Structure 1
Amino acid sequence: MTSTTPPEIAAHAESLIPKFQFTRLLNQDQAGRRISLLGTIESQPALLTAERAAFAIDNDHLMSFPTSLSTIKNLGANDIYHWFLASSRTSQDDTRSQPPDLKLNLIYPCTEQHIKKYSAQGLRMVTETPSIYASYIRPFMQQKREQGRLNWVFNILEGRTEQEDVIYREHGDEGFLLLPDLNWDRKTISSLHLLGLIERRDIWSVRDLKKTHVGWIKHMREKLLDATVKLYPDLEKDQLKLYVHYQPTYYHFHIHIVHVALEAGSTQATGKALGLENIISQLETLQGGDDAGMADVSLTYHLGEASELWEKIYLPLKEGREVVLS
């Protein structure tokens, strides 16, 4: 976009930024992508907001993007998943050490399903009844678990990877552990994102939770909160929210623990995230004995049109066709 500002006014405006004298940070939001700074310019108060610019998406920029990164630091690796911090500032004239300004996740080698998941696509709202779950979704989950997609989870649970990152752990039939989510940069508290993984392997998703599990879920919730505020003493429990995904990305029950200030994107939206406290309340008020559970209720959520669940199950159901999972 070409500026219509007169040259003399533009030159004056551009001269102001180098004169900005920082006083204090006012706010950091957009998951750390935007900051608001208070300062002065020539003894007058000034407020400066800085936000990371959008990525250039023309092919020339995208082809050179990987080689334009510097100060790449690996934060962890597990199976096909790798995550890094990196700097995008690569000016030949600036030899100073630049702080990382990008969080990178690498999936290598990736599958066709990874490609579909991260591609732009339309969304559909679907209602999964207990009957649809039992007839189609549960067998679908079984298939995915048998394809080795949980290797990275089992690597953590069995002590082969990421043990240095484990914040808290309890062993046993109702054991679980807490560690940073791979999408967090591990330093920006306002975008804190941790993950609670259970040790038992018979609970694949929220659908497997029953009234008999309520005591265990409450215990796990309190321990996850206690461990988080102990490690990050500037946080209080009521600054954290816990939720689970349905449908989840992988079929091994896990709980997300995030800062309440973390901007709610699609992964925290209605149709994807279920608050843990709401799940507990729903289980407690379900009719029936201890075996009554989340498999007995209908759940509504959104799906991408390129997802396997939409293509293999919900689209055929919508069109009155036979569902073929193989």
Structure 2
Amino acid sequence: MGDKSSAESLIPRFQIEKLLNQDQNDRRIALLGHIDGKQGILIAERAAFATESVEALWAFHASLARVQNLGNNDIYKWYMASSSPPDQSNSPPDLKLNLIWPCTEQHIKKYSAQRVRMVTETPQIYKDYIRPFMQQKREQGRLNWVFNILEGRTEQEDVILRDTEHGPEDGFLVLPDLNWDRKTIGSLHLLALVERRDIWSLRDLKKKHVPWLKYLQQRLLEATVKIYPDLEQDQLKLYVHYQPTYYHFHVHIVNVMLEAGATQSVGKAFGLENIIGQLEAIAGDDESGMADLSMSYYLGEESELWMTVYGPLKRGEAPRV
């Protein structure tokens, strides 16, 4: 092994020239610089959170400083904060915080570590069990925060586009996703909420919706690059989740460089362009659509859908919807 002290002395002597790259979760940066006239690359990565004990978690919470609320809607609140010592008041925020309060048992299960399973939802399973499950969730007030935005009660200052050109039935609005820090273009993440309430998920999309979906796709691309001129349309991807977190149709707009892990993986994210192509290829009349297809996706074993529908089906029991 080399001399530890001499190796450590190199870091303070590193003279930064420019940023080479940063991962889109803002966890790692690569810097080009030089030491004693010779170029080098410094790769910096944020340390993992200390989670070895409850005391370590308390210490993390106690270290939070300069907490600034970015917005809130119903039970959801989001913030920027700093984990730097109080005497470093000029340091920029280095933490993005999301608070769900008060939360439900379902929220706790969703955010808990758990095994996942791939399931196949046939048209019959969707009709008999999943559609009634969706209806149940919509009736429990889980869409209050969405309707608050659509009806102008909250977050109106965050709405960056509201399109009603083709009438309220086909209208939509766009605002930053609560997981985006609202400034790092490399991790841009926007959310488009449609005004219409007859489409709960991609399962409600039919061949007759193709013209509307194409219009929606084009408007979202055009509007995003107009608002964020550093981007071009082919640097954006539009996708829909299935199963979604909430049953009101919405589209995610992200930088193609965004590394968002599971939320954009196969079995969770379905590209809007691919959905349109699938609808165009489906045989049948204008009422034919995504509800007529079998779809595979993954579920956590603690999720309600697994425990009430797919778990019982796997065991040969009747679903409990």
Q: TM-score, normalised by structure 1?
A: 0.95
TM-fit CA distance, 1:97 = 1.4
TM-fit CA distance, 1:18 = 1.1
What is the aligned counterpart of 1:182 among 169, 175, 178?
178
| 8 Å Cα contact 2:25-2:260 kept in structure 1 | no
Match of 1:280 in 2: 276
Q: Which runs of 4+ in 1 moved over 2 A?
A: none
The separation in 2 between residues aligned to 1:65 and 1:151, in whole angstroms, is 32
TM-fit CA distance, 1:264 = 4.2
Match of 1:28 in 2: 22
Tell me whether 1:78 sits opposite 2:63 in the alignment: no
SS in 1 for 2:170: coil
Match of 1:66 in 2: 61
What pairs with 1:99-248 in structure 2 (closer than 5 Å)? 99-171=92-164, 172-248=168-244
Match of 2:296 in 1: 300
For structure 2, the residue ranges without an aligned partner over 5 or more in a row are none
TM-fit CA distance, 1:95 = 3.6
- CA distance 1:15–1:170, shift in 2 (3 Å): same
Q: Which amino acid aligns with 1:247?
A: Q
The separation in 2 between residues aligned to 1:201 and 1:313, in whole angstroms, is 25
| 8 Å Cα contact 2:24-2:186 kept in structure 1 | no
Match of 2:249 in 1: 253
The separation in 2 between residues aligned to 1:140 and 1:120, in whole angstroms, is 23
SS in 2 for 1:196: strand
The separation in 2 between residues aligned to 1:224 and 1:32, in whole angstroms, is 25
| 8 Å Cα contact 2:170-2:212 kept in structure 1 | yes
| 8 Å Cα contact 2:239-2:272 kept in structure 1 | yes
Match of 1:44 in 2: 38
TM-fit CA distance, 1:64 = 2.2
SS in 2 for 1:173: helix
1:124-181 Cα offsets, whole Å, 9 max, x none, are: 1100000000000000000000001111100100011111111111131111011100
Q: Which amino acid aligns with 2:247?
A: Y
CA RMSD of aligned residues (A): 1.1
The separation in 2 between residues aligned to 1:64 and 1:248, in whole angstroms, is 34
TM-fit CA distance, 1:96 = 4.0
SS in 2 for 1:86: strand
Match of 1:318 in 2: 314
SS in 2 for 1:63: helix
1:8-55 Cα offsets, whole Å, 9 max, x none, are: x11111111111111111001142211111111122211111111111
SS in 2 for 1:35: strand
The separation in 2 between residues aligned to 1:248 and 1:145, in whole angstroms, is 12
Identity of aligned residues (%): 68
SS in 1 for 2:192: strand
The separation in 2 between residues aligned to 1:227 and 1:109, in whole angstroms, is 35
| 8 Å Cα contact 2:14-2:33 kept in structure 1 | yes
The separation in 1 between residues aligned to 2:189 and 2:118, in whole angstroms, is 26
TM-fit CA distance, 1:319 = 1.2
What is the aligned counterpart of 2:266 among 259, 267, 270?
270
SS in 2 for 1:261: coil
| 8 Å Cα contact 1:71-1:98 kept in structure 2 | no
Q: Which amino acid aligns with 1:36?
A: A
The separation in 1 between residues aligned to 2:312 and 2:184, in whole angstroms, is 44
Q: Which amino acid aligns with 1:166?
A: V
| 8 Å Cα contact 1:32-1:190 kept in structure 2 | no
The separation in 2 between residues aligned to 1:303 and 1:323, in whole angstroms, is 16
